[in-house]
Structure 1
Amino acid sequence: MKTSVKALVVGGGAIGTSIAYHLARAGWSDVMLLERDELTAGSTWHAAGLLPLFNMSYATSHIHDYSVKFYKTLEEETGLNPGFSVVGNLRMAQTRERMDEYMLYATTAETVGIPYEWLSPKEIKERWPLVRTEDLVGALYHPTDGYINPADVTQAMAKGARQRGVTIERRWQVDGYEWAGDHWRVTATKMVEKGGNLLPSDEQVVIEAEHVVTATGNHAQRTARLLGLKIPAIPVEHQYIVTEPDPALVEFRKDHPEHPVLRDADAKWYVREERGGWILGPYEKGAPARFLYGVPDSFRADLFPLDLERIEEEYMSFIHRIPSAETVGLKDDFNGPICYTPDGNPLLGPAPGLRNLWLAEGFSFGITAAGGTGYYLAQMMVEGEAEIDMASLDPKRYGNWMTTEYAARKNEEAYEHVYILHHPDEERPACRPLRTAPAYDRQKAMGAQFGQVNAWERPNYYGPKDAPADFDEKARSFRRGAWWPYAEAEARAIRENVGLIDATAFTKHLVRGPGAAAFLDRFTCNRLPKVGRINLTYALTEAGTTRTEYTMVRFAENEFVLISAGAWTAYDGDYLRKAAEDFIAAGGGWVDIHDISTQWGTFAIAGPRSRDVLKELVRDAEPQTVLSNARFPWLSMRRIELKMCPVYAVRVAYTGELGWELYHPIEMQNYLWDELWEAGEKHGMKPVGARAQNWLRQEKSYRAFGNELGRDATPLEAGLDRFVDLSKEFTGKEAMLARGIRSKCVTLLIDGPDDADPWGREALYAGGERVGRLTSGGWSVAFGKSIGMGYVRPDLTEPGTKLQVKMFDALWPAEVVEDSPYDPKNDRLRADG
């Protein structure tokens, strides 16, 4: 057995096997995979093998698309048939709203290049007469996917990996990880079978590996303990049943091809053929999380008892949809653990706080994702970055606030929500509220309808003060929901008067020490601000793409605060700390980094009358001039006193109006909130939520991380040249210049449907050709039409260029406009008074 390798993959399911294969294919021949039992012994063996392509996530859609294409090549390479039945996938809809969802799915799929068809109930009945269609409104059909044999595809990838030099060792359990400064020392124990159980023997080996990947599936909690991490990957029970042969189906198949995988999302199940019968897989309420603290040694390729009462409703709806199944008996049943995460997306990428340790955990659709996971993770490990932005799957999207109880309850919710309507404005209720700023109760009393970001409760919009508890749930839509008029009024208030936004969820890192300035100068691409000033800057990846965005505030020569998106606190902090460690190790001065996100609250006040409100509160020797341009210019920071509250005020506004961000001691937040509202009443101030703010920032062409900004585009491609100082050296500079301009970020005004705006997931067309995609979308109160931002070919970026946006299966006119179409000279931001 090898004791020194380039990369060690821990876990021999479909995910781990694919990663080992793709690392070898990417050029790392010295790869070893360890499996504690047999290949596929975890969730892989009992998976139904479905390959659903469509997903609201751009990254996950790419991963699934690669898998489907890759699996079709395996037999030619390895000689093993992976058991891929390309029967297609039919998503049926019982309501118009479900069809709206499918239309959004479809245009997202177009941005990836996935083909699809629309079918009417009549066309469904003509092709598959066993399906009841009179209560359907239509269906989305994808012809190129289907289902696969999980064990066969895993063994085919394993053979392909071995052919490329990968060593696969079974019956070895990892019992310890130790970082030796430049490589990992991994302790593995030989497992032996005794009385049907798999138990550790006295034989151990220490393996030295430059890189380690964990793909441990249901055993993720054990992995977390060994590594000292929090990994919110916990299994949930998933049941499916196999029927006896259906005589009607057997007769139909005599002269017809196999049915596609049938999905009745409104009934919460999938169905496919299985040897003349049917496999029914429901996603019901009440499925419990299992193995919260680890998998028992006695649990191997085992199952849980079936709970038929729990899936009775789904079973009856299956009989309704396929009436011939009513008299067919049950042949087999499965109830096994499938790993989930709180948002249903896998945890894929570098582990927090550790070097050369990669997580590939929490795959609820592991067979579909396995091929693409191996491909894109291998790119990250071998080349430094994947060709698509993988940030949305990064394991660090959950911070240290996350607990086992939280993960278990949210994972149960994610399972239950597989087939609910996934509105783009969806907010799931489990485990809320959890993290609340002090002003939460005051905002709730004002009608705030909250969203959740990094578990923080943040107002999305302010509805009626006496709104029922389910107001927000009923307000959601794929078009303009009932919340839309409230957000429109809030956006108009900031453009015409004044509004107050709670931005406490912002991530805030204090960076100081004798090496702080030198470190940040290398770490970011813009020139550093002067003391008392701010700038907008970016940290790049080694590949030259955008790693994160910061508002940088300079308090002293070697003291800075970096402000970034609230969803990315652990993600940004981990990268900052690792970069600082490298800087210090290379001989740079000492740098101290502290996450102060929960110590400072943040209010943003914006609008042409925002100065008038603050003047009511500011205490200064010359209160009438303290907020003037002469004493407090745009893009500067000052410590001011708002009555009894000391505030670090930053003159900047993400909404593009005259405004300030007010950073205050979190324990004084309620005091400051009350004082602002007492002063603001006479000026007609309105509370404003995140949705209106999102619309307003698009009118200024302000890019958002996770939308326009990500690890698949450089700052130059994002059109941020003015924030890149090419006269200095910074991480990723040469790679950024070498990549050139492959596509370019633009802002568009859109003449869309009367009852809908784009969500930022839509395909863009020119002359019948797909030329790009939207990354943001919404409504512009300044221009009275829909607005969006996105990426197109460089030759289509001139203002006035006519494009089209795909919405609800139709193309709508759009026009490229100049950057910052609202107040392009920033006169309103600079307004004096």
Structure 2
Amino acid sequence: MKTHARAVVVGGGAVGCSIAYHLAKAGWTDTVLLERDELTSGSTWHAAGLLPLFNMSYATTHIHDYSVKFYKTLEAETGLNAGFSVVGNLRMAQTQARMDEYMLYASTAETVGIPFEWLKPGDIKDRWPLVRTDDLLGAIYHPTDGYINPADVTQAMAKGARQRGVEIVRKAQVDSFHREGGEWVVRGRIMGDRGGNLIATDEPFEIRCEHVITATGNHAQRTAAMIGCYIPAVPVEHQYIVTEPDPALVEFRKAHGEHPVLRDADAKWYVREERGGWILGPYEWGAPACFKFGVPDSFRADLFPLDLERIEEEYMSMIHRIPSSEHVGLKDDFNGPICYTPDGNPLVGPAPGVENFWFAEGFSFGITAAGGTGHYLAQLITEGEAEIDMWALDPRRYGKWVNREYATKKNEECYAHVFILHHPDEEREAARPLRTAPSYDRMKARNAQFGQVNGWERPIYFANTPDFDDHAARSFRRGGWWKFAEAEARAVREGVGLFDATAFTKHIIKGPGATAFLDWLTCNRLPKVGRINLTYALTDAGTVRTELTIVRLAEDEYYCVTAGAAQAYDHDYLVKEAAKKREEFGWIEIQDVSTQWGVFAIAGPKTREVLRPLVVDTDPASALSNKRFPWLSAKTIDLGMCPTLAIRVAYVGELGWELHHPIEMQNYLFDRLMEAGEPHGLKLCGSRSMNWLRQEKSYRAFGSDLGRDATPLESGLHRFVDTEKDFRGKAAMERTGIRAACITVLIDGPDDTDPWGKEALLADGRKVGRLTSGGYSVHFGKQIGIGYVEPGYATVGQKLKVRMLNELWDAEVVEESPYDPTNATIRKDG
């Protein structure tokens, strides 16, 4: 067994073996994989092995697509049959809402290049007569996926890894990780099997390495605790049953190939063929989380007792859909732990607080994701970035406020939502409200409907009645909330609106090295004292890592505002990068002040009329004028008794200010603003209308329009890049060139639907790009979107097609900031 390695992978399931394989393929052949028992003895062994391509996430769709293609190559490389049955996947729909969901998903699939077919009930019955279709509206069919034998594909990847130089050590229990002398020390024990229990032998081991990657499945919480971290990867019980052979299926197979995997999403189950019978896998309500405090040492390849009563409804619906299964007996059953996370996406990327430690944990669809995760995580580790933006999977999307109780409730909810309609406007209810700004109750009393970002409750729109049902208002088309968002957007354009932006991430960066550090970290020039600037921190690959609004408070003190969802993500990044640069630049202090400051954003032509009565100043009439308070400046002002850092900027593209205030004074400030705004028709607004309004100004959103797969030049942010200075990622940015160009489009779409930012863009009969944002423009009276296309299709006036509801609609590339392109409204004096 090696005592030194470049990388150590902990965990010998499908994910761990894929990571080891792809690290070696990338040239890191000095890799060791450690498994506490036998390969596949974790959740891999009892997985059903399905490979569903269906996913609403662009990044996750790429990961699943890579896996399906990769698994088909393993036998030729290793000589081992991975057990891939390419039987196709038939996803059925009983309702129009489900068909709408499939049509939105299909556009995402189109952007990635995943093949699919649309089938009517008659088509289904003709091809698969065992399926009852009289209550179906249709289906989407993926001909290229199916199911795989989890143990076989894992062993094939393990053999491929060994062939490339990876050492795989079984019965190796890891007990600790320590950072010493700039490298990791992994210590543990070799285990022996005595009487069915793993017992430590007298063989301790120690491996020193540059990088540690953990893929420990149900043991993720214990693994993370070894480095002082908590991650919300808590298993949930998943049951599936195997029937005796179905004579009707056996007869069908005499003249046909293997039956496709069936998914009746409205009935919450999947079914696939197994040795002449059926496997039923339900995703029922009430499945409990398990191992809340960690997996017992005695738990190995074990299962829980079956709870048939819990899945009775799903079992009966299988009989309804496949009538021939009614008289078939049960052959076997499985009830095992499958790891989940609060949003269903795995945790793939850097561990917070430490260097060169990587998580690959929380996989609820581990077999499907294993191949792609190994590929893209290996890119991230060996090259510094993956070719796709991995932000949606980053472990640091969850902050330190997340604990076991929260994870348990959300993971149980996530399991139950596997087959629930995945509305783009969905807001799930479990573990809420949790993080609330002081004005939460006041806004709720005014009929605010809340979403959540980073655990914070944030108004998404304001209804006109206290008993409005947001759940019933959700849709893949224009939901019941649409009219409220439209009225809010119009109020901002014509009058004045107030938004709660308290969830913003906020940092103070100061010290003798702060200026040099931020100048190196970001691509735009730094603002002067009292001024602000929008800028970007880049990755080493030259792509956008983080968007920052920087307010310069003093020569060496800065107030930095970033996305609300990125609090832990940005804090960990800033702290790590500052630590590396202190010797070069001088002392740099990073303070996360996100919970100390509340934020209201007020915007619209009547903004000054609302604020003037509140400003405590020798000349309130001129305090907010362009001369005394110009655009893109910041100063501390008193609004009544509330000292406020007012920043003259508005994400909605109107005259406006962000009002950053001590959070304990928020209710006082809110009440004063509402009183002052009443004569001017001040309207409370939510994030949905803000999203529409910012697109009229071509303002990009981090996490959708901006990410680690595009440079700021590709994102059309040339005016925020100072090429006269040196900054991190500059050379890579310039070397990359323009692979795709960011555009704004206006769309002549259907009367009842707006784009969601997942749609394909076509020209000349082929896909040339995709939308990353979408919505409705109250100014232009039509749909609007932001997206990326091949550079040759980015010219203003270019005619495109956008696919919505499976139909093509006319779209046209318009100038940057189609609403108020000269910023006359924003700069308006008064």
Q: C-alpha deviations, 1:585-609, integer Å up to 9, x for none?
A: 4x22100000000000000000000
CA distance in 2, matches of 1:742, 1:200: 54
Residue 599, structure 1, aligned to residue 596, structure 2: yes
1:378 Cα deviation (Å)?
A: 0.4
Residue 436, structure 1, aligned to residue 433, structure 2: no
CA distance in 2, matches of 1:758, 1:221: 39
Identical aligned residues as a percent? 73
* TM alignment of 1:466-545, pairs within 5 A: 466-468=466-468, 471-545=469-543
1:772–1:790: 8 Å Cα contact kept in structure 2? yes
CA distance in 2, matches of 1:315, 1:823: 58
Residue 707 of structure 1 aligns with which residue?
A: 704
CA distance in 2, matches of 1:725, 1:297: 56
1:774 aligns to what SS in structure 2?
Answer: strand
Structure 1 stretch displaced more, 192-201 or 770-779: 192-201
Question: Letter of the aligned partner of 1:676 in structure 2?
Answer: L
Residue 633, structure 1, aligned to residue 611, structure 2: no
Residue 771, structure 1, aligned to residue 768, structure 2: yes
CA distance in 1, matches of 2:221, 2:230: 8
Question: Letter of the aligned partner of 1:21 in structure 2?
Answer: Y
Q: C-alpha deviations, 1:42-98, integer Å up to 9, x for none?
A: 000000000000100000000000000000000000000000000000000000110
Q: C-alpha deviations, 1:319-342, integer Å up to 9, x for none?
A: 000000000000000000000000
CA distance in 2, matches of 1:43, 1:596: 40
Residue 5 of structure 1 aligns with which residue?
A: 5
* TM alignment of 1:55-94, pairs within 5 A: 55-94=55-94
CA distance in 2, matches of 1:535, 1:202: 61
Residue 338, structure 1, aligned to residue 338, structure 2: yes
* TM alignment of 1:373-412, pairs within 5 A: 373-412=373-412
Residue 547 of structure 2 aligns with which residue?
A: 549
Residue 718 of structure 1 aligns with which residue?
A: 715
CA distance in 1, matches of 2:128, 2:57: 30
2:569 aligns to what SS in structure 1?
Answer: helix
Question: Letter of the aligned partner of 1:487 in structure 2?
Answer: A
CA distance in 1, matches of 2:559, 2:201: 53
Residue 40 of structure 2 aligns with which residue?
A: 40
Residue 226 of structure 2 aligns with which residue?
A: 226
Residue 141 of structure 2 aligns with which residue?
A: 141
Residue 741 of structure 2 aligns with which residue?
A: 744
1:703 Cα deviation (Å)?
A: 0.6
CA distance in 2, matches of 1:174, 1:612: 65
1:449 Cα deviation (Å)?
A: 0.3
4+ runs of 1 displaced by more than 6 Å? none
- What is the TM-score normalised by the length of structure 2? 1.00
1:746–1:791: 8 Å Cα contact kept in structure 2? yes
Residue 289, structure 1, aligned to residue 286, structure 2: no
Residue 322 of structure 1 aligns with which residue?
A: 322
Residue 649 of structure 2 aligns with which residue?
A: 652
Residue 667, structure 1, aligned to residue 664, structure 2: yes
Q: C-alpha deviations, 1:153-208, integer Å up to 9, x for none?
A: 00000000000000000000110000114210110211112221112233211110
Q: C-alpha deviations, 1:703-730, integer Å up to 9, x for none?
A: 1101110000000000000100011110
2:44 aligns to what SS in structure 1?
Answer: helix
- What is the TM-score normalised by the length of structure 1? 0.99
Residue 827 of structure 2 aligns with which residue?
A: 830
CA distance in 1, matches of 2:285, 2:301: 25
Residue 583 of structure 1 aligns with which residue?
A: 581
CA distance in 2, matches of 1:736, 1:771: 22
1:816 aligns to what SS in structure 2?
Answer: strand
Q: C-alpha deviations, 1:353-377, integer Å up to 9, x for none?
A: 1100000000000000000000000
Pick one of 740, 750, 755 that aligns with 2:752: 755
CA distance in 1, matches of 2:55, 2:226: 33
Residue 695 of structure 1 aligns with which residue?
A: 692
1:298 Cα deviation (Å)?
A: 1.4
1:27 aligns to what SS in structure 2?
Answer: coil
CA distance in 2, matches of 1:798, 1:530: 35
What residue ranges of structure 2 are gaps of 5+ in the alignment? none
1:445–1:465: 8 Å Cα contact kept in structure 2? no
1:294 Cα deviation (Å)?
A: 1.2
CA distance in 2, matches of 1:701, 1:779: 13
Residue 780, structure 1, aligned to residue 777, structure 2: yes
Pick one of 800, 809, 812 that aligns with 1:812: 809
CA distance in 1, matches of 2:466, 2:511: 50
CA distance in 1, matches of 2:803, 2:382: 36
Structure 1 stretch displaced more, 778-787 or 289-298: 289-298
1:743–1:793: 8 Å Cα contact kept in structure 2? yes
Question: Letter of the aligned partner of 1:326 in structure 2?
Answer: E
1:188–1:207: 8 Å Cα contact kept in structure 2? no
CA distance in 2, matches of 1:644, 1:9: 57
1:538 Cα deviation (Å)?
A: 0.2
Question: Letter of the aligned partner of 1:332 in structure 2?
Answer: D
1:45 aligns to what SS in structure 2?
Answer: coil
Question: Letter of the aligned partner of 1:341 in structure 2?
Answer: T
CA distance in 2, matches of 1:797, 1:512: 41
1:225 Cα deviation (Å)?
A: 1.4
Question: Letter of the aligned partner of 1:500 in structure 2?
Answer: L
Q: C-alpha deviations, 1:523-547, integer Å up to 9, x for none?
A: 1000000000000000000000000
Question: Letter of the aligned partner of 1:303 in structure 2?
Answer: L
Residue 372 of structure 1 aligns with which residue?
A: 372
Residue 302 of structure 1 aligns with which residue?
A: 302
CA distance in 2, matches of 1:351, 1:464: 44
Question: Letter of the aligned partner of 1:28 in structure 2?
Answer: W
Residue 734 of structure 1 aligns with which residue?
A: 731
CA distance in 1, matches of 2:553, 2:2: 53
Structure 1 stretch displaced more, 173-182 or 146-155: 173-182
1:297 Cα deviation (Å)?
A: 1.4
Pick one of 679, 684, 694 that aligns with 2:676: 679
Aligned residue-pair number: 830
* TM alignment of 1:351-370, pairs within 5 A: 351-370=351-370
CA distance in 1, matches of 2:729, 2:350: 18
Residue 787 of structure 2 aligns with which residue?
A: 790
1:237 aligns to what SS in structure 2?
Answer: strand
Q: C-alpha deviations, 1:599-623, integer Å up to 9, x for none?
A: 0000000000011100011110111
1:224 Cα deviation (Å)?
A: 1.7
1:244–1:329: 8 Å Cα contact kept in structure 2? yes
Residue 415 of structure 2 aligns with which residue?
A: 415
CA distance in 1, matches of 2:127, 2:185: 58
CA distance in 2, matches of 1:175, 1:231: 18
2:84 aligns to what SS in structure 1?
Answer: coil
Q: C-alpha deviations, 1:713-756, integer Å up to 9, x for none?
A: 00000000010001111000000001010000000000111000
Structure 1 stretch displaced more, 250-259 or 266-275: 250-259
2:326 aligns to what SS in structure 1?
Answer: helix
CA distance in 1, matches of 2:718, 2:221: 44
1:561 aligns to what SS in structure 2?
Answer: strand
Question: Letter of the aligned partner of 2:438 in structure 1?
Answer: P
1:230 Cα deviation (Å)?
A: 1.1
1:466 Cα deviation (Å)?
A: 2.0
1:464 Cα deviation (Å)?
A: 2.2
Residue 271 of structure 1 aligns with which residue?
A: 271
1:221 Cα deviation (Å)?
A: 1.1
Question: Letter of the aligned partner of 1:717 in structure 2?
Answer: E
Question: Letter of the aligned partner of 2:707 in structure 1?
Answer: G
CA distance in 2, matches of 1:247, 1:520: 70
CA distance in 1, matches of 2:31, 2:381: 13
1:141 aligns to what SS in structure 2?
Answer: strand
Residue 240 of structure 1 aligns with which residue?
A: 240
